[in-house]
């Protein structure tokens, strides 16, 4: 089995049945989240609850992020056959996630400022009504998590089948299974991101309910803005993680990924007898579990070809496309 041809990879991986299921689920969750977000923000202003406002604003970022995920699926499907996208449209979701994370930091700052202001200048809160709206948000989050979780489990099962198929193929071909990854390596990161969004939003809803109950039952009015501050910190931490994760992909900072060592080991182990070694290697991600690489190798074997090197890398199915340059050492007798 040889390293996948780029056109073959695009046909197999740009859009499949798992993506269709995920797209349908994310689109439904976007509408649920947007409607609940509007209700929570309106109720937070009307009932003077910073915790409820924090939850609503936090949910708005999730609505945006999940909406971008749904858009990414739609774009991948719509442009799957467009050769102008050299490596498909996967990075649309990454760019959307980065934009969402930047907006998320701005929202966290506004939440923090509003909560501190409310902590210093308390205002009366209609606790009963605010709790009812927060509980509604929690129910919607749980329902959304169930919808996306179902698609996520389907994708996870597909990853198990894909890994088993790869291992069987490698054993049949007599190759070592180089990347040694578990099924999580083949997960749909776009779907996983949307799923984590609704789960963390559910946690924020719980904080809001606790704060409102504390103020209603024991008169702890300070608990509401305090939970708003905690919510802001929670949102900021989520934003930071998302910026690091998406920025890493957008800037092609993947040279510390295990796939890089796998490629180098495959070439230099198989080319040991011919004195073949890699002198220049660049690897970058082009899909959720696919990479492209450009490498330059030096060798003592004047008959060594790029196809031979691709054969050495064939067990590393993460590599969807490779550009290989070979230089023969001039001083070696085989090069004369």
pLDDT tens track for 60-89: 777 877 887 788 788 877 877 777 877 777
Say which residue, 113 or 11, is predicted with more confidence: 113
Order of all β-strands in the sheet with 319-328: 277-287, 290-299, 319-328
Task: Determine the Cα angle at 191 with ends 52 and 96, to 5°.
Answer: 75
Query: What pLDDT is recorded for position 267?
Result: 94
213 closest CA partner among 127, 132, 136: 127
Protein fold of 6-250: Alpha-lytic protease prodomain-like (1.20.1510)
Cβ-contact 203, 141 below 8 angstroms: no
Q: What does DSSP say about strands 319-328 and 290-299: parallel, antiparallel, or unpaired? A: parallel
Q: Which long-range contacts (CB under 8 A, 24 or more apart) does 324-328 make?
A: 324/294, 324/295, 324/296, 324/297, 325/294, 325/295, 325/296, 325/297, 326/296, 326/297, 326/298, 326/299, 327/279, 327/296, 327/297, 327/298, 327/299, 328/298, 328/299, 328/300, 328/301, 328/302, 328/304
**Domain locations along the chain:** 6-250, 258-335
The 3-state DSSP class for residue 282 equals strand
Protein fold of 258-335: Alpha-Beta Plaits (3.30.70)
Using left for φ > 0, alpha for ψ between -120 and 50, and beta otherwise, residue 153 falls in alpha
55 closest CA partner among 234, 284, 245, 176: 234
CA distance 233 to 111: 9
Cβ-contact 187, 159 below 8 angstroms: yes
188 closest CA partner among 10, 7, 13, 12: 13
Per-residue model confidence as pLDDT tens digits over 261-296: 999 999 999 999 999 999 999 999 887 778 999 999
Query: What pLDDT is recorded for position 82?
Result: 76
Mean pLDDT of 117-128: 80
- The position carrying tokens 């199915």 is 317
118 DSSP assignment: H
> Do the domains at 6-250 and 258-335 have one common CATH topology?
no
CA distance 302 to 307: 14
**Alpha-helical regions (H) of the chain:** 6-13, 17-47, 50-78, 91-120, 127-173, 189-218, 223-250, 258-270, 306-312
Say which residue, 123 or 299, is predicted with more confidence: 299
Per-residue model confidence as pLDDT tens digits over 216-273: 888 888 888 888 888 788 878 877 887 888 888 889 888 888 899 999 999 999 999 9
């Amino acid at each position: 089995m040889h390293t996948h041809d780029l056109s073959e990879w695009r046909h197999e991986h740009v859009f499949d049945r798992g993506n269709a299921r995920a797209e349908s689920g994310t689109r439904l969750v976007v509408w649920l989240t947007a409607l609940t977000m509007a209700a929570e923000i309106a109720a937070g202003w009307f009932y003077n609850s910073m915790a409820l406002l924090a939850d609503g604003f936090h949910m708005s970022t999730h609505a945006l992020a999940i909406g971008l995920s749904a858009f990414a699926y739609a774009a991948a499907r719509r442009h799957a056959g467009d050769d102008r996208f050299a490596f498909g449209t996967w990075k649309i979701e990454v760019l959307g996630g980065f934009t969402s994370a930047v907006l998320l930091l701005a929202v966290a700052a506004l939440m923090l400022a509003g909560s501190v202001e409310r902590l210093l200048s308390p205002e009366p809160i209609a606790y009963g009504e605010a709790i009812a709206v927060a509980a509604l948000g929690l129910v919607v989050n749980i329902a959304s998590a169930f919808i996306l979780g179902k698609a996520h489990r389907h994708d996870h099962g597909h990853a198990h089948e894909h890994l088993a198929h790869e291992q069987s193929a490698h054993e049949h071909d007599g190759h070592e299974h180089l990347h040694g990854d578990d099924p999580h390596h083949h997960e749909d990161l776009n779907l996983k991101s949307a799923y984590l969004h609704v789960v963390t939003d559910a946690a924020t809803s719980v904080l809001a309910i606790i704060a409102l109950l504390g103020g209603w039952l024991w008169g702890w009015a300070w608990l509401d803005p305090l939970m708003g501050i905690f919510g802001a910190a929670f949102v900021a931490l989520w934003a930071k993680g998302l910026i690091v994760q998406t920025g890493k992909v957008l800037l092609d900072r993947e040279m510390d990924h295990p796939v890089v060592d796998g490629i180098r080991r495959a070439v230099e182990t198989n080319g040991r007898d011919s004195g073949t070694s890699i002198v220049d290697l660049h690897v970058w991600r082009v899909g959720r579990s696919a990479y492209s690489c450009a490498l330059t190798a030096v060798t003592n074997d004047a008959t060594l070809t790029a196809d031979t090197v691709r054969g050495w890398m064939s067990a590393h199915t993460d590599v969807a496309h490779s550009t290989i340059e070979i230089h023969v050492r001039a001083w070696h007798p085989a090069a004369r």
